[in-house]
Amino acid sequence: MNSDIISLQETSANIWQAKYSGNYGTYNIKIKMDGKNLDTFSCSCPSQYYPCKHIAIIKAAIDKRISKKKEEPKENAITVEELLKKVPHQELINFIIRYAKYNPEFTNKILLEFIHKSSVKQDNSYALILHKALQKISFDYDDLYEYHDNAIEIDILDEWLAKAQEKILQKHFDEALAICKACIEEYAEWADDIDDDIIEYIDTVYQEKPFDLLKEIASSQTVYSNDLFQYCIKEMNKPKYTGSYLYDNFNDLLLELPQPQGNAAEFIAIQDKLLQNITDKSSYEAQKIFERKIAFYKKTNQPETAWQIVSENIQIENFRKQVVEQKIAEKKFAEAKKLIADFLSAHQSDNFYYHSKWNELVLSIARKEHDIPSIRKISFAFIENHFQSEYYRIYKSSFNTEEWEKELQNVINHYEKKKGKYFSDSIADVFAEEKDALRLIKYIEKYLSVERMEQYYSYFAKTYPKETLDLFQKAINQYAEKNTGRNYYEHIAELFKKIYRIEGGREMAATMVVQYKSQYKNRRAMVEILNKIKF
């Protein structure tokens, strides 16, 4: 096993936990396997890569352990199952009690596995166990503020939610329900006592997954729908849910449940009551409630009522956009333009790009009305700061051939003025769009670099293969002279492969490889990488 792996353990079927000694401390790693493949995984390291390298390291260690286990001789080994069959019953009970006393994780596993066989009311039993387990969780604040972008995971909740999923698969729905309810209720109570600075780091899965499982139960067994509906109504009114994401999840679950007539009316009444408490009907909170009502009416085959909510609440930007799109579809362009103009007038302080979706709608209307001045004004605004092929083509389409020849130079001059003496991607993109290979290759030569050659060479390589090869050679030579390191050498090898595929490039690529192996013979990593090139 890798010497940096502090521990590696399969905590339950196909779920592995590991601790890894890294450059920034000890990382906690979790991996769930699906056969031989990764299902889900997480690592607390600060790496920006996804997945980070530690996932592959731990996966390799898991594969090695599984393989080794399969290869171990079995004829002389005694299994746990065989041993337990020979242990006197009372001795086994005494051992479990003694071991559980000093191992809380083991205690939780036993209680979670067997509490449903207890005479104590099941929901209360699960809640009591989880309540005690959560109270024992503590956080190291020094580690917390170095946690970077990784969400905090809570092992006990991971285990309980996995158990609930297992119970659903086994069709033990009563037990799954009890576990999910305990996870919701006890997490809410525990989170209510935790500092806000910590809560924002905790993985949101613990607020979401129990409700996803309840939806799964309700869809599998509709007999539970009414009980779940009444559970949500009763539970969500408790103070511990006020203003939390959990409260929204209760509402979303209510929406997902089958709606007998009585429940349906009660659901709408709840949403209307929530709306009454919101003074700003354009707020995100109001939008969420409206959207639940809209989804409800669509679900219950009442599209007209759903649309009425949209059309009567155009103070919400997304609803106004839907109404505008409908007006455009109905060719009521004047009404659509007024709705857009009223909105933009009320938000004049925001810049053009902030309202790009509205400007796209204005542009679509202008094109339908063949309003050339508006087409030019709006499409140019989209390409004013940087080239965008879609809007460039729309802008170009508003000019005839003679007009465009002059306007094209105006566009290039505009970009040159913005960039001054520096390279402009927008100018290069214009040349590429216009298929002006000669001007493009001259422009790239003026600001030559490996990166620019890679980005644009395909636009002129067929027309000017010799010139392209000469520029590549010059750019790569400069790049190799300035940069050292395996990543750079591998990049150089890829560049040689690009040269090789250009007409007349075989000989140049082969010659440069030989030259570099001699010129940079002291760069062992480079020579090693170049030796592997196969044209």
Mean pLDDT score of the chain: 87
First to last CA, the chain: 38
Q: How confident is the model at residue 465 (pLDDT cuts 50, 70, 90)?
A: very high
Q: Identify the pLDDT of residue 152.
A: 77
Could you write out the DSSP letters of every residue in 426-456? HHHHHHHHTT-HHHHHHHHHHT--HHHHHHH
> How does pLDDT run across 210-258, given as a tens digit for each residue?
999 999 998 887 778 888 988 999 998 889 988 788 999 999 999 888 7
Q: What is the pLDDT of residues 105-128, one digit of tens each?
A: 677 677 666 766 665 555 578 888
Query: Where does the pLDDT of residue 518 fall: very low under 50, low under 70, confident under 90, or very high at 90 and above?
Result: very high
User: What pLDDT shows up at residue 21?
Assistant: 87
Local structure of 149: helix, strand or coil:
coil
- Give per-residue pLDDT as tens, 138-158: 776 555 555 445 677 788 898
Per-residue pLDDT tens digits for 15-56: 888 888 888 778 888 888 888 888 888 888 877 778 888 988
Contacts of 461 (CB under 8 A, 6+ apart): 468, 502, 503
In the chain, the percentage of residues whose pLDDT exceeds 90 is: 54
**Using 50, 70 and 90 to split pLDDT, how confident is the model at 73?**
low
pLDDT digits (tens, 9 = 90+) for 418-462: 988 899 999 999 999 999 999 999 999 999 999 999 999 999 999
Cis peptide before 51 (omega within 30 of 0): yes
Look at 87-101, 200-214, 288-302, 480-494 and tell me which has the smallest mean pLDDT.
87-101
pLDDT for the residue numbered 71 = 67
Task: Tell me the C-alpha distance between 170 and 518, whole Å.
Answer: 67
206 CB-near residues (< 8 Å, 6+ apart):
154, 157, 161, 183, 187
For the record, the structure tokens of 426 come out as: 């927008």
Long-range CB contacts for residues 446-454, cutoff 8 Å, separation at least 24: 447/422, 447/423, 448/474, 448/475, 448/478, 449/475, 449/478, 449/479, 450/475, 450/476, 450/478, 450/479, 450/491, 450/495, 452/423, 452/428, 454/495, 454/498
- Predicted pLDDT at 454: 96
Q: Which pLDDT value is given to residue 138?
A: 76
Across 10-24, 129-143, 340-354, 381-395, which has the greatest mean pLDDT? 381-395
Strand-pairing partners, residue 29, are: 18, 43
